Amino acid sequence: MFVDDPAKLRMPTSKGPFVVAEALYHTINKTRDEFFVISPYFVPEDYGARFFEQLVDRGVRVCIATNSLASTNNAYVHGAYAEYRERLLAAGVEFLAAR
């Protein structure tokens, strides 16, 4: 089990430690066949987009299920994720959207 220290909430978001994120990254990076993400608040940022592109380049099927704009309760999150959608699609990432 991995947990972040609750005191992390008092720190700027760019400061660590990132116990849960790093453990998740290392686990996902061992994937050989396919990796599915299910999140209504998916925003990969540049580092996440690069990570998913690298998985696809290694032959891993990456599929992300997230909310469509019509079904989300947070248009800001959807807008932030939309910035990466074309890039990830071009890399071979698959998307599923709730309707």
Query: Is the predicted pLDDT of residue 97 greater than 80, yes or no?
Result: no
- What are the boundaries of each domain within the chain? 1-30, 33-98
State the pTM of this model.
Answer: 0.79
| Tokens 């116990």 sit on residue | 19
Q: What is the mean pLDDT of the chain?
A: 86
- Quote the CA–CA distance of 56 and 50 in Å, as a whole number: 10
